Structure 1
Amino acid sequence: MNTAIFAVARRRGVTLVHDPATGLTHRAARDLPGGRVSLRPDEVTSWPTVAPRDHEEDVPISVCWSPLVRCNLSCPHCLDDKEIREQSPAERVRIAELIGSAGVMGVDLSGGEPLLLGGLDVLADILTAAGCVVSVTTNGWHLRRRAPALTSHLDAVRVSLDGPTARLHDAWRGEGSFERAVDGVQAAVAAGLRVQIQTVLMASTCRNAQRLVDLAAGLGAGGVTFLQMLPIGEGRRLAHQEMIPDETAAELIQTLSVPRPLTVRMRAREDAGGFTVIRADGQIWRNDHPAASISTLRPLTATGDLALTGPDGSA
């Protein structure tokens, strides 16, 4: 893929570029027009990044929005609270319009399992029409079925894998999950979607990091994101035995052999601090530092509610 769509905006005199595949925001090294812009991923990757915690404006650069909690899998390390209420289709449209009007650059549609949502294309279209770049984070189970139709609505797909083989991955996500996810990645790549593999770094899975990188390269994915486990949601039950120090994780990533043009990044817990999440019930929070807990949770009713600048949620 020679070029891809990125979101570009001028913030406090600095040109920022948000990548929907990696979720990273970069400081541009040259002048660019604003909006949804076609750029070479290798050029964008070479530019320095801006972490959510370093962003000083009220409106976040990017958000993770989970428009549903339903999922066909029951992963023990899930970040979601499965007890909350899902909004109606009309309420989801309102949230999408609100996000778009706020000036947010990137939106990752998550869950639950977002590919279970029939109106996913409608929400994505509202966001892209407002200038956002849009990605979907999925377990991949329904990706082959939905990839062709979603290609014109999404800018990237992030597929979760917990291991490089069916035995390792399915131990976490259930029998058949690996085959469906790999099949979905291949279908998405064939349909022309940018694909990023995501995996949660845990004590029991981190030894498989190199094999996962090799698998991603073989499938035609653009990159791999290693996510440090967060003690939030369902994952709280496993945190004491599965969380590894950021320093240990960083050292592991440094040892990996990464074939070109694949890129590899690690999201440390500190890097997740300050990130904004919108739940399926329309409540919004911003991660504490270093993303070990949540101090703010309130309804998202207006664009001003995105201004979660203080630890108590005060703007």
Structure 2
Amino acid sequence: MTVRMFAAATLDATLLVYDPATELTHLAPHRLPVGRQLLDDADVATWPTVAQCQVSTPVPFNICWSPLTRCNLQCPQCLDDKTLPELAGAERTRIARILAGCGTLGLDISGGEPLLLRDMTHLLKTLASNGAAVSCTTNGWHLQRRAAELAPFLDAVRVSLDGPDAASHDRWRGKGSFERAIAGARAAVAERVPVQLHAVVMRSTAHRAQSIVDLAHELGAVGVTFLQMLPIGDGAQLADAEMVSDADAQRTISSLQAPDGVRVRLRTRELAEGFTVVRADGQVYRNGQGATDIRSLRLLTDPADLHIPLSEGKRQ
């Protein structure tokens, strides 16, 4: 049995439980207190999942916050818009407070590379102050150095990998990046932070999916999320050569053998549609058109700025 942190809330009269490692939202089969909850992950994994488009909720199930565009790596499939300005520290704190109070179940700090932020610990503590489960998505380069500092405020960490070894991963992210990512993942596991590996499904990398799953087991990670490539940001330049259809990606991931304790999921472009991101400029963005683009909606000044129009809810 592995007990770890989840978040529970009643949205649209439905009791939901969010997993900060897998980013999956589950329907709770029985009553639970709302807020952050220590639950058996094996039990939660048996509960049915629900997609954002199936339930009309005033706020998204989970929100990604990318407070910076800076990164120590230059990955060609990066989704970020590096032309956006970055807000200063006081503005980051303001946004963290709004996100903490918006009523969502899960908040993830991404980037750019979020571990470049000196105020990362302060931001994580603020995000977790009102019941949401808090995670971080990182390339892992600085994770070993900062794992002990951040562990008390992290419910999960997602480490991005493009291959199961240095030769395949470093081709995309640069020399030494695999070694640093693996060391970071091991350090997080040692601090008892649940680790989820993230891998983008591309034509050049899909054949290594099983090896990434096996590596997750070796590292003590709780699972692997395979992400369908989105033609956004720098990734738009690779789309024609590297994008895989949802159907082909599903066949690849369905064929994988997951060791005990490792949960494997595919986030298709269909599931990524409508996903909410707050970017470095403080604007609220949402994926559209089958997650093939991302559009700015408004400046984040109030929790209501994150609300999902009712017309977007319960699409079947």
Query: Which of the five TM-score ranges fits, normalised by the shorter chain?
Result: over 0.9
1:266 aligns with: 266
Please give the per-residue CA displacement for 1:127-167, whole angstroms capped at 9, x wherever unaligned: 11111111000000001000011110111000000000100
Please give the per-residue CA displacement for 1:33-82, whole angstroms capped at 9, x wherever unaligned: 10001001111111111212223122111100001111000000000001
Kindly tell me: are residues 280 and 25 of structure 1, through their superposed partners in 2, closer, same or farther at Cα, counting changes over 3 Å?
same
Query: What is the TM-score when the length of structure 1 is the normalising length?
Result: 0.96
1:49 aligns with: 49
188-197 vs 295-304, which moves further: 295-304
For the residue of structure 2 that corresponds to 1:26, the secondary structure is strand
Q: Which runs of no fewer than 5 residues in structure 1 stay unpaired? A: none
One-letter amino acid of the structure 2 residue matched with residue 114 of structure 1: P
2:12 touches 2:55 (CA, 8 Å); kept in 1? Answer: no
Shift of 1:297: 3.0
Shift of 1:295: 3.8
1:20 touches 1:133 (CA, 8 Å); kept in 2? Answer: yes
2:149 aligns with: 149
Shift of 1:104: 1.3
1:17 touches 1:28 (CA, 8 Å); kept in 2? Answer: yes
2:85 aligns with: 85
2:59 touches 2:104 (CA, 8 Å); kept in 1? Answer: yes
One-letter amino acid of the structure 2 residue matched with residue 190 of structure 1: A
Shift of 1:120: 0.8
1:79 touches 1:230 (CA, 8 Å); kept in 2? Answer: yes
162-171 vs 37-46, which moves further: 37-46
2:57 touches 2:308 (CA, 8 Å); kept in 1? Answer: no
Please give the per-residue CA displacement for 1:225-276, whole angstroms capped at 9, x wherever unaligned: 0000011111111011111000001111111111101110000000001110
For the residue of structure 1 that corresponds to 2:234, the secondary structure is helix
Aligned equivalents of 2:167 and 2:306: distance in 1? 41
Q: Which runs of no fewer than 5 residues in structure 2 stay unpaired? A: none
CA RMSD of aligned residues (A): 1.3
For the residue of structure 1 that corresponds to 2:29, the secondary structure is coil
Q: What are the equivalent positions in structure 2 for 1:160-239 lying under 5 Å apart? A: 160-239=160-239
Q: Which has the higher contact order (CA 8 A, sep 6+)?
A: 2
Shift of 1:29: 1.3
Moved over 4 A (4+): none
Please give the per-residue CA displacement for 1:192-223, whole angstroms capped at 9, x wherever unaligned: 11000000000110000011111111011000
For the residue of structure 1 that corresponds to 2:288, the secondary structure is coil
Shift of 1:12: 2.1
Kindly tell me: are residues 266 and 124 of structure 1, through their superposed partners in 2, closer, same or farther at Cα, counting changes over 3 Å?
same
1:159 aligns with: 159
1:144 touches 1:183 (CA, 8 Å); kept in 2? Answer: yes
Between Structure 1 and Structure 2, how many residues are aligned? 312
One-letter amino acid of the structure 2 residue matched with residue 167 of structure 1: A
263-272 vs 118-127, which moves further: 118-127
1:142 touches 1:184 (CA, 8 Å); kept in 2? Answer: yes
